[in-house]
């Protein structure tokens, strides 16, 4: 009788361990297969002194593996601006803010990275008359924060007069 109880106890313990392993794997799997809301990345706003500005917005990937996506900034028209003008890019009304926003000045190579707490970028147009093309890359990560699942870009070009 003791042997029967021992076998039943071992069987129950093994069953409980298997259940916990399966439950843990399914929870981890659901984290890794989490989805971002919507069918595409939300569109940010861009304003020059409160008015709209020429730009190109591209959605590269959404709810798929974005790690292999390569992005080449597009050719876009130049907007004439004055030195000291303010350009504001906002994503504050997104349902889910991007985890990372990268502002890249294509002409100078300068890169600035913004993190989740930031919801606006403000650029003051420099005094130089050279044209500046900017590319703003929005990135959304899921799971433990290292799986890129959404990426989009906003590009614009300005020239101070």
- In this predicted model, what pLDDT tens digit does every residue of 71-126 receive, in sequence order? 777 788 888 898 889 999 988 777 778 888 888 888 888 888 887 666 788 888 87
- Is residue 61 very low, low, confident or very high in pLDDT (cuts 50, 70, 90)? confident
pLDDT over 70 at 130, yes or no: yes
* pLDDT confidence bin for 159, thresholds 50/70/90: confident
Q: Give the pLDDT confidence score for residue 4 in this predicted structure.
A: 57
45-160 adopts what CATH topology? Immunoglobulin-like (2.60.40)
Work out whether the CA dihedral 78, 80, 82, 87 comes out positive or negative.
negative
Q: How many other CB atoms are there within 10 angstroms of residue 108's CB atom?
A: 12
Q: In the prediction, which pLDDT does 12 show?
A: 56
Q: What is the dihedral of CA 71, 73, 74, 76, to 10 degrees?
A: 160
Cα–Cα separations (whole angstroms), residue 153 to 13, 52, 76, 98: 53, 17, 13, 12
pLDDT band at 42 (very low <50, low <70, confident <90, very high): confident
Q: Percent of the chain, pLDDT > 90?
A: 12
């Amino acid at each position: 009788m003791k042997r029967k109880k021992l076998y039943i106890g071992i069987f129950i313990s093994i069953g409980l361990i298997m259940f916990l392993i399966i439950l843990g794997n399914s929870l981890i799997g659901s984290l890794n297969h989490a989805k971002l809301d919507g069918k595409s990345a939300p569109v940010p706003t861009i304003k020059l002194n409160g008015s709209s500005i020429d730009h190109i917005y591209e959605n590269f990937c959404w709810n798929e593996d974005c790690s292999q996506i390569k992005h080449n900034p597009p050719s876009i028209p130049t907007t004439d601006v004055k030195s000291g003008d303010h350009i504001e890019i906002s994503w504050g009304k997104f349902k889910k803010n991007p985890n990372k926003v990268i502002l890249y000045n294509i002409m100078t190579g300068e890169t600035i990275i913004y993190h989740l707490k930031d919801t606006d970028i403000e650029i003051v147009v420099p005094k130089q008359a050279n044209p500046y093309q900017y590319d703003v890359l929005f990135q959304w990560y899921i799971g433990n924060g290292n799986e890129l699942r959404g990426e989009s870009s906003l590009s614009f070009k300005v020239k101070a007069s």
